[in-house]
Amino acid sequence: MNRSTNTLSTQQIHDTSTVLRRIVQQIEQVIIGQRNAVDFAVITLAARGHLLIEDVPGTGKTMLARTLARTLGCSFARIQLTPDLLPADITGSAIFNPRELNFSFHPGPIHAQIILADELNRATPRTQSALLEAMEERQITVDGTTHPLPAPFMVIATQNPVEYDGTFTLPEAQLDRFSMRIRLGYPSSSDELTILRTQRHQHPIDTLTAYTNAQEIIAIQQIVQHVYVDPAIDEYVVALGVRTRHHDNIGLGASTRALLTLTRVAQARALLGGREYVLPDDIQAVAVPVLAHRLILSPTARMRNTTVEHVVQEIVTQLPVAANRNGWRG
């Protein structure tokens, strides 16, 4: 097994994994009964990605974003997307100063570290596209001048999958910018009772303090890039992508960028699990939230009410995993 020269030390793995797990524990003090969603949010952050949360109102989408920002000690901004919102309302604009006879840039809410883009599909396509450069390039351009965004930078967008009146469907180019799409769902009855009792007099987020800071998160994001990916894992990921492109129920398969994202998110999951190498389990665990929103079902599959999540899970289940020459560890 030929490893990269940037091999991570055991201490680095332990320390980084401890920080990530502690972040998860902090968030779980507020977001109760949603361990998978919390894990995915933290993994997306570590992978330097963006998160799309699709669920009905009142399930904790906004609170998850606020809690993540509070735990990280990062700046937070909420952008409530509406049809009348303009791109300049997000990016900021140059305003004329009559005293100095020049234009000065006034930054918009996108210049925070954790952004909540609430009900993204209610914004017009023009306003939605204003997020593209910010999410991909981590910078915005206003009147020909480029302004870098703070690091770490993460967009958590939400959309309501039930109410479609007055909404604009997100184009594939916009969806592809999100590393993962998740759904929170309703908590169990026991978790819901806990929420009712613990939040009756005070919300847990009011007493939550920052556990880490921006510089430590940036360092973690750099460490994720050096988590080892065996050539057999690369071959498995490519095989997954090829299978999506030739599946009878899929009209548009996974792009190369989707496979790169799948690998990076798996690296982050491995690090959360305290490993310096990626296992097939990591790929399989994140395949649905990473790939499902990037694929388009065939017309026949839509007529049969087949879900894209079911198709991706079927592919993952049926595709054999080739072991590396030394066998998988763990």
Q: What is the CATH number of the domain that holds 283?
A: 1.10.8.80
Q: Are residues 188 and 44 in the same domain?
A: yes
- 26 in a domain, yes or no? yes
Q: Are residues 12 and 78 in the same domain?
A: yes
Q: Are residues 186 and 276 in the same domain?
A: no
Which structural domain range is residue 110 located in? 1-225
Q: Report the CATH number at residue 36.
A: 3.40.50.300
Q: Domain ends where: 191, 225, 259? A: 225
Q: Are residues 208 and 318 in the same domain?
A: no
Q: What is the pLDDT of residues 195-214, one digit of tens each?
A: 888 888 888 898 899 999 99
| C-alpha to C-alpha distance for 77 and 56, rounded to whole angstroms | 21
| pLDDT of res. 51 | 96
- 147 in a domain, yes or no? yes
Q: Are residues 81 and 2 in the same domain?
A: yes
- 330 in a domain, yes or no? no
What domain count does the chain have? 2
- DSSP output for 228-267: B--HHHHHHHHHHHHHHHT-TTEEE---HHHHHHHHHHHH
Q: Are strands 145-148 and 139-142 parallel, antiparallel or unpaired?
A: antiparallel
Q: Are residues 149 and 237 in the same domain?
A: no
Q: What is the pLDDT of residues 54-71, one digit of tens each?
A: 988 888 889 999 999 999
- 329 in a domain, yes or no? no
Q: Are residues 90 and 170 in the same domain?
A: yes
- 328 in a domain, yes or no? no
Q: Are residues 142 and 282 in the same domain?
A: no
Q: Domain ends where: 185, 201, 225? A: 225
- 292 in a domain, yes or no? yes
SS3 content of the chain, % helix, strand, coil (to 5): 50, 15, 35
Higher per-residue confidence, 98 vs 114: 114
Q: What is the pLDDT of residues 3-41, one digit of tens each?
A: 544 678 889 899 999 999 999 999 999 999 899 999 999
In the chain, the N- to C-terminal Cα span, in Å, equals 16
Is 253:220 a contact under the CB 8 Å cutoff? no
Q: Are residues 219 and 251 in the same domain?
A: no
Q: What is the pLDDT of residues 262-307, one digit of tens each?
A: 999 999 999 999 999 999 999 999 999 999 999 999 998 888 888 9
Q: Domain ends where: 225, 250, 270? A: 225
Q: Which residues contact 224 (CB under 8 A, 6 or more apart)?
A: 46, 47, 48, 264, 267, 268, 271
